[in-house]
Amino acid sequence: MPTIIMTKWPVKIDGSVKAKAMTFLQKLSADDTTPGLHVEPIAGAADSRVRTGRVDQFWRAVMFRLDGAGESHYVIHGVWPHDDAIAVATRVRLNVNPINGLPQIEQAEFERAEPAAYPAVASISPAEPLLSQLGRTRGDLVDRLGVPADVADLALAAPDEDAILDLAQQHEGWLGMILVDLATPDSIDTIAERLQLEAPEQTGDEDADLLRSLKQPAAQAQFAFIDGQEELRRVIEKGDFGSWRVFLHPEQRRYAVRRYKGPFRLSGGAGTGKTVVLIHRARVLAREQPDARIVLTTFTTNLADALRDGLAQLDPTVPQATSLNQPGVYVTGVDALAAAVIRSAGTGIADAVQSVLGDARSTPTGRTPNGRWREVIEASSSKLPSEIANETFLSAEYALVVLPNRVKNESEYRRVRRPSRGVALDRTKRDSVWALIAAYRAQGRVDGTLDFAEAAAIAAAHLATTGGQADHVLVDEGQDLSPAHWQMLRALVVESDDDLFIAEDSHQRIYGNRTVLGRYGIKIVGRSQRLTLNYRTTAQNLRYAMAVLDGGDYVDLEEQAEATGYRSARSGPTPAVEAVESLVTELDTIAGRVRSWLDGGAAPETIAVLVHDKFQRERVVNALNERGVQARAVDRDRPAEGRVLVMTMHRAKGMEFAKVVLADVGFQSAAEKARLDGLDEIERHDAELRARSLVYVAATRARDELVVIQRR
């Protein structure tokens, strides 16, 4: 049976043709001699491997036929109306790039989109073109990286990064990736290494050489060997947004498949495909080890829902376990995971409760309500200064010091170390803090409730004595997890190769406090890498989002300063920043923007308005509806179709939309200002970092257009 090698192009055809192309490819992959397919060479074609095939009366597929290892292979170049297909088929040629060993389809680009020609730079600006400013020469591009000469000339003439990105967008696969990299300060060697470029080996058997070239890691960002009919159907049915499932960047592929002798950490800015790598890695592990118990977890239940959907989209045949300790991939939020461990332990949880809280409960039931710390402080006659007697300080002290160290009483608290906690506590203050913690715990005991951090600490203590219940744990949004979460995950997975794989971005920490993995038994030691190519956000929006972070001192889970340099593969309009004086003007401005996008043909559910809190969310929904724009608030539920979506910036974490309005940027309510003023310096600094991170998270949700509304 012939093997189908898909390129990115055929997935861009529209609905009715897609269905016919699917039928054609299915038949082709079953038997290329089936009558009616009309797989035929073209007389006088530039490449003797070219074939056309009959999709229907009007449409033809253009393909290359390669024979290797006793099998035929079809590289599907695209589907065109009959006459266009013949014209394309006559001219295209598939060959191996003699410099970098990667496959290239020559001339194809010119038939689809005429690349922009940049006017001679001197005529528009005296500035030097970007690549020569970066010291790149034609020799670097053509002779070292294998960029075709015509494309290299356009790149060398491009005045700035945006122009290079526009050019990159016209070239699929490795060529687009090289162009994006060329606009960064990375050295030519770094670019060549990242894409694993190597001079080709020539055996004299051209088809075999081509097939080997098509299997190179960088080739797989553009060409995919399709594994069976079912996969073929999935590849064709999904539009371009689905291309993450098939065409991975060579770096993404490496992290998805590589084996590690212990925990591994993958960092990367928003939109660099960390989640994509995790989903692929879960699939690779599940396919290779069908009996393995794999846990894929993240910070919230909504994000876990998205991971579950993503895994099912990638491959519905990967078994998703419905409970812990079962073969398959168990996808769950990290707090739901703690609850599952406690639930499955039954009354056997009593020892763990005793060791963490020092009380004899065996069946904790509910969840401690929000605001409990405030109630405890208000009910006490504590003499502690306000920068200590506040919810932010106490909950952090509890999560960072008390729970991970299993402090159960005053004398243990007097002795415990409090690294990186800022505010020093003398003996009297420690005793007073402990009195509040004891009151907090007593109230939990009365109601039979646990807070999230307590539940994770208890689950960790239970697993530490009963043993691991997973073979591989994959974690997304690692920057938001608390020490007790890490202790639980460490104890959940049996220590072995590929035990923990952690994706994180410290710039996106919007919950909790900084954590250092090494303190909780997770030793990364040199097994840590970074993704740097942003797939989601245009370079213009990314620049705005990065500027929000400027000056903040972010550190990652290993206490290293977080790198900020990363690049985007896409270019678009500059974000619009609008300053407004009042709430009413803000609402009018939001409605005006949204309406103009809708009038321009955008689907309502691809537009999101992101706000700070639930009150503002309701205000915006009402204002939009009153102004005739159908809008809907998104809370825990999944976003619905047919309405403009309005949600908090926290809720938008992990999501993406074509167009985004960021509301209330820079606005601080009087209550929030008073809360921040009451914090000690370190806590306030951390709260400010989180606030910037929140705007960064929100700004990086936009794929194409971003409007920022600043309230003065």
Structure-block tokens of residue 250: 């060579």
Count CB neighbours of 428 within 10 A.
Answer: 10
Question: What is the C-alpha separation between 589 and 193, in angstroms, rounded?
Answer: 47
Report the nearest approach of ligand ATP to the CB of residue 331 (Å): 15
Number of residues engaging ligand ATP in binding (CB under 6 A):
21
Taking CB under 6 A as the rule, does residue 272 contact ligand ATP? yes
Q: Return the residue of 101, 129, 273, 512 that touches ligand ATP, per CB under 6 A.
A: 273
Nearer to ligand ATP, 314 or 461 (CB): 314
Q: Which stretch binds ligand ATP (CB under 6 A): 265-273, 319-327, 392-400, 579-587?
A: 265-273
Taking CB under 6 A as the rule, does residue 267 contact ligand ATP? no
The interface with ligand ATP within residues 498-557 (CB under 6 A) comprises 505, 508, 535-536
Q: At 530, is the secondary structure helix, strand, or coil?
A: strand
Please enumerate in sequence order all residues whose Cβ is within 8 A of that of 309, keeping only pairs 6 or more positions apart, or say none: none
**What does each C-alpha distance from 52 to 36, 60, 194, 552 come to in angstroms?**
12, 6, 35, 57
Question: What is the C-alpha separation between 438 and 428, in angstroms, rounded?
Answer: 15
Nearer to ligand ATP, 328 or 654 (CB): 654
The interface with ligand ATP within residues 454-473 (CB under 6 A) comprises none
Nearer to ligand ATP, 298 or 392 (CB): 298
Taking CB under 6 A as the rule, does residue 700 contact ligand ATP? yes
CB 307 within 8 Å of CB 476: yes
Report the nearest approach of ligand ATP to the CB of residue 489 (Å): 18
273 has binding-site annotation: yes
Q: Which stretch binds ligand ATP (CB under 6 A): 39-47, 222-230, 274-282, 617-625?
A: 274-282
Torsion of CA 611, 612, 618, 621, to 10 degrees: 0
271 has binding-site annotation: yes
Question: What is the C-alpha separation between 462 and 340, in angstroms, rounded?
Answer: 12
Strands 366-367, 449-450: pairing is: parallel
465 has binding-site annotation: no
Q: Which stretch binds ligand ATP (CB under 6 A): 70-78, 198-206, 244-252, 679-687?
A: 244-252
Nearer to ligand ATP, 271 or 404 (CB): 271
Report the nearest approach of ligand ATP to the CB of residue 248 (Å): 5
268 has binding-site annotation: yes
Please enumerate in sequence order all residues whose Cβ is within 8 A of that of 242, keeping only pairs 6 or more positions apart, or say none: 11, 234, 235, 313
Please enumerate in sequence order all residues whose Cβ is within 8 A of that of 643, keeping only pairs 6 or more positions apart, or say none: 604, 605, 630, 631, 632
Q: Which stretch binds ligand ATP (CB under 6 A): 271-279, 369-377, 510-518, 628-636?
A: 271-279
Q: Give, for 173, the enclosing helix (H) or strand (E).
A: helix 173-182
Nearer to ligand ATP, 250 or 604 (CB): 250
272 has binding-site annotation: yes
Q: Where are the beta strands (DSSP E) in 456-507?
A: 472-475, 500-504
Count CB neighbours of 17 within 10 A.
Answer: 16
269 has binding-site annotation: yes
Q: Which stretch binds ligand ATP (CB under 6 A): 34-42, 156-164, 269-277, 373-381?
A: 269-277
Structure-block tokens of residue 381: 């006659």
Q: Which stretch binds ligand ATP (CB under 6 A): 12-20, 243-251, 460-468, 669-677?
A: 243-251
Q: Return the residue of 249, 283, 567, 651 that touches ligand ATP, per CB under 6 A.
A: 249
Report the nearest approach of ligand ATP to the CB of residue 273 (Å): 3
Q: Find, among 554, 564, 516, 563, the residue nearest to 689 by Cα.
A: 554
Report the nearest approach of ligand ATP to the CB of residue 436 (Å): 36
275 has binding-site annotation: yes
270 has binding-site annotation: yes
Structure-block tokens of residue 689: 């970092």
Q: Which stretch binds ligand ATP (CB under 6 A): 57-65, 272-280, 451-459, 577-585?
A: 272-280
Question: What is the C-alpha separation between 395 and 155, in angstroms, rounded?
Answer: 54
Nearer to ligand ATP, 129 or 654 (CB): 654
Report the nearest approach of ligand ATP to the CB of residue 659 (Å): 15
Q: Return the residue of 100, 104, 170, 252 that touches ligand ATP, per CB under 6 A.
A: 252
Report the nearest approach of ligand ATP to the CB of residue 697 (Å): 7
Q: Find, among 556, 566, 509, the residue nearest to 689 by Cα.
A: 509
Q: Return the residue of 2, 53, 176, 271 that touches ligand ATP, per CB under 6 A.
A: 271
Question: What is the C-alpha separation between 414 and 426, in angstroms, rounded?
Answer: 9
Nearer to ligand ATP, 9 or 393 (CB): 9
Question: What is the C-alpha separation between 405 and 509, in angstroms, rounded?
Answer: 23
Question: What is the C-alpha separation between 214 and 3, in angstroms, rounded?
Answer: 13
The interface with ligand ATP within residues 625-684 (CB under 6 A) comprises 654, 656
- For 299-351, give the DSSP string: SSHHHHHHHHHHHHHH-TTSPBPSSTTSSEEEEEEHHHHHHHHHHHHGGGGHH
Strands 93-96, 103-106: pairing is: antiparallel
Nearer to ligand ATP, 272 or 648 (CB): 272
Taking CB under 6 A as the rule, does residue 297 contact ligand ATP? no
For residue 527, the cross-strand partners are none
Sheet with 528-531, side-by-side order of all strands: 328-333, 293-298, 472-475, 500-504, 264-268, 528-531
Taking CB under 6 A as the rule, does residue 485 contact ligand ATP? no
The interface with ligand ATP within residues 344-373 (CB under 6 A) comprises none
Question: What is the C-alpha separation between 72 and 181, in angstroms, rounded?
Answer: 35
Q: Which stretch binds ligand ATP (CB under 6 A): 56-64, 171-179, 248-256, 387-395?
A: 248-256
3-state helix, strand, coil in the chain (%, to 5): 45, 20, 35
Nearer to ligand ATP, 161 or 251 (CB): 251
Nearer to ligand ATP, 41 or 639 (CB): 639
User: Which residues define the annotated binding site for ATP?
Assistant: 268-275
**Can you say which residues are annotated as belonging to the binding site?**
268-275
In the complex, the residues that contact ligand ATP under the rule CB under 6 A are 243-244, 247-249, 252, 268, 270-276, 505, 508, 535-536, 654, 656, 700
